[in-house]
């Protein structure tokens, strides 16, 4: 029985390793191709307002007093010819609204809002006297999806971008994330950028002035994890229009397609669920639209620094993954939905969602095999080596990929530390996240609710 279980885990991990190797190769080719281009020249023409598409930037905020100032300041300084910022105060119980009023000199205005998507009641609308393109909506609490839908109703431009209330955007990020949409003549209906960890960076007045690496091992491992998820996973999936996640922290969408799809749903993973629904709509309407990922545009966000907060986050993320997959289960292995139904949905179901269960079984088998001794020690060594390849080696590859292409970290010591910590991932960090993701599966099966809020310190001075 142990032998059969060990062989199942072994061959499952080998299959996953082969798939990730394919994604790694595709990602490396794509990144090298992109960064051989001049860094600035391809985006210079986009500063011409006649060439670009105006964007409404939506910032849902619930109890974001600590980070909302830095987020809005970073958005006010971006290089983009035409945009508006719409902050949606979703019934915050802290001083989020008061902070916005004070810092940006808000005054109440009267404006008719076309309710294309159903939301909780809007109590008031404000406009900044300092910045005419900054608006704040104060509404009853309805959750992040409801806040985003209220922002869509209020917005005036054809493209909307969702930004988390604790995030900081790089100045040229919008020029880069909008370029695929403009170049494709609107065949691209959604475009997402990279999200990086802000802990350890110096951020002043909403702008990253120095990119650094936190001293906390838990945060360093999350930096590595983000590199792996974005530089390896999403580039490879995006290359073949298989992307099912555009991060809620930084993603641009065609407003008409979002409204046509019914807006954001009240799920834990509302960002992924919307992207899956858009793919479904594309296939069912038989149109040739795309959803892409652009690796360079960067959004900096605060990461959990405690085990308790990180555990809540990962349980919530995995529960959100299950909700999105389950709501669209008719797409599983369904040829009607092309490569999304036959490749992307099975990948997220079998590898991303159920993968932690198999990994946890592998860790248990390693321990049991070591206890039993004799021939079982060979199984333990085999499974351990495969788990190292599955975890640490690919994380090391992601760090190298970052250094060869994006090169956000200017300090050699930071890169060395990232590389060293990636070697240790299998020994402590990955087993923890596997356990927490399995807890997320239990939460989903038991239909447990709750958001699991993270205590934020704020990332800006």
For 245-303, the pLDDT digits (tens) are: 888 778 899 999 999 999 999 888 888 999 999 999 999 999 999 999 988 768 888 89
Residue 167: its pLDDT value, please?
82
HSE-up of residue 224 (Cα within 13 Å, Cβ side): 30
Per-residue pLDDT at 461 exceeds 60:
no
User: Which residue has better confidence, 52 or 86?
Assistant: 86
What's the whole-model pTM score? 0.90
Nearest to 61 by CA among 119, 173, 137: 137
pLDDT recorded at residue 143: 93
CA 277 to chain centre: 17
pLDDT reported for residue 451: 59
Q: Tell me what the mean pLDDT of segment 237-252 comes to.
A: 86
Of 114-128, 154-168, 227-241, the one with minimum mean pLDDT is 227-241
d(CA 224, CA 170): 20
Q: How many CB atoms are located within 10 Å of the residue 17 CB? A: 15
How confident is the model at residue 108, as a pLDDT? 96
What pLDDT does 235 receive? Answer: 85
In this predicted structure, the answer to whether residue 37 has a pLDDT above a threshold of 60 is no
Are the C-beta atoms of 369 and 376 separated by less than 8 Å? yes
Cα separation, 291 vs 254, whole angstroms: 10
Residue 36, pLDDT score: 56
Average pLDDT over residues 340-368: 93
Confidence tier at 49 by pLDDT (50, 70, 90) = low
Q: Which residues share a beta bridge with 134?
A: 85
- Average pLDDT for the chain: 88
Number of Cβ within a 10 Å radius of residue 182:
16
pLDDT at 224: 93
pLDDT value of position 435: 96
pLDDT at 381 over 90: no
129-150 mean pLDDT: 96
Fold of the 54-306 domain: Spore Coat Polysaccharide Biosynthesis Protein SpsA; Chain A (3.90.550)
Phi, psi of 399 (to 5 degrees): -65, -45
The domain ranges of the chain are: 54-306
Q: Evaluate if residue 453 carries a pLDDT over 80.
A: no
291 three-class SS = strand
Q: Most confidently modeled of 74-83, 325-334, 398-407? A: 325-334
In the predicted structure, residue 455 carries a pLDDT above the cut 70: no
User: DSSP alpha helices (H): ranges in 247-374?
Assistant: 255-260, 270-284, 307-327, 338-339, 345-346, 355-372
Q: pLDDT at position 328, please?
A: 96
């Amino acid at each position: 029985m142990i032998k059969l279980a060990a062989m199942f885990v072994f061959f499952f991990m080998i299959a996953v390793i082969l798939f990730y190797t394919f994604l790694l190769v595709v990602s490396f080719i794509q990144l090298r191709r992109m960064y051989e281009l001049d860094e600035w020249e391809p985006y210079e023409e986009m500063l011409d307002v006649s060439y670009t598409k105006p964007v409404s930037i939506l910032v849902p905020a619930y109890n974001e007093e600590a980070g909302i100032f830095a987020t809005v300041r970073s958005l006010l300084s971006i290089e983009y010819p035409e945009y508006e910022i719409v902050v949606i105060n979703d019934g915050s119980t802290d001083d989020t609204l008061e902070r916005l009023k004070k810092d940006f000199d808000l005054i109440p205005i009267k404006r008719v809002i076309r309710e294309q998507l159903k939301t909780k009641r809007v109590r008031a609308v404000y406009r900044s006297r300092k910045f005419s393109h900054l608006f704040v909506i104060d509404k009853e609490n309805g959750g992040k999806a409801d806040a985003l839908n209220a922002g869509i109703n209020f917005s005036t431009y054809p493209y909307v971008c969702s930004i988390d209330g604790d995030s900081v955007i790089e100045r040229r990020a919008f020029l880069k994330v909008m370029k695929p949409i403009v170049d494709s003549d609107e065949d691209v209906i959604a475009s997402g950028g990279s999200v990086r960890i802000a802990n350890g960076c110096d951020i002043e007045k909403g702008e990253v002035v120095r990119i650094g690496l936190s001293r906390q091992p838990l945060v360093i491992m999350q930096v590595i994890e983000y590199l792996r998820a974005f530089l390896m996973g999403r580039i490879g999936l995006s290359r073949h229009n298989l992307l099912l996640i555009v991060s809620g922290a930084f993603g641009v969408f065609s407003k008409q397609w979002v409204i046509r799809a019914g807006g954001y749903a009240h799920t834990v993973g509302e960002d992924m669920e919307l992207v899956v629904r858009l793919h479904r709509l594309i296939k069912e309407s038989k149109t040739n639209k795309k959803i892409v990922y652009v690796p360079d545009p960067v959004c900096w966000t605060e990461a959990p620094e405690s085990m308790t907060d990180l555990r809540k986050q990962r349980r919530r993320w995995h529960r959100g993954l299950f909700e999105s997959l389950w709501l669209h289960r008719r797409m599983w292995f369904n040829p009607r939905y092309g490569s999304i139904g036959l490749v992307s949905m099975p990948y997220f179901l079998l590898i991303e969602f159920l993968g932690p269960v198999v990994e946890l079984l592998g860790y248990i088998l390693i321990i049991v095999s070591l206890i039993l001794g004799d021939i079982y020690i060979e199984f333990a060594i085999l499974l351990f080596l495969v788990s190292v390849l599955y975890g640490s080696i690919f994380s090391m590859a992601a760090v190298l990929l970052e250094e060869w292409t994006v090169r956000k970290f200017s300090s050699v010591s930071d890169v060395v530390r990232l590389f060293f910590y990636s070697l240790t991932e299998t020994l402590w960090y990955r087993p923890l996240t596997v356990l927490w993701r399995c807890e997320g599966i239990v939460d989903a099966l038991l239909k447990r609710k709750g958001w699991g809020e993270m205590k934020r310190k704020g990332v800006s001075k």
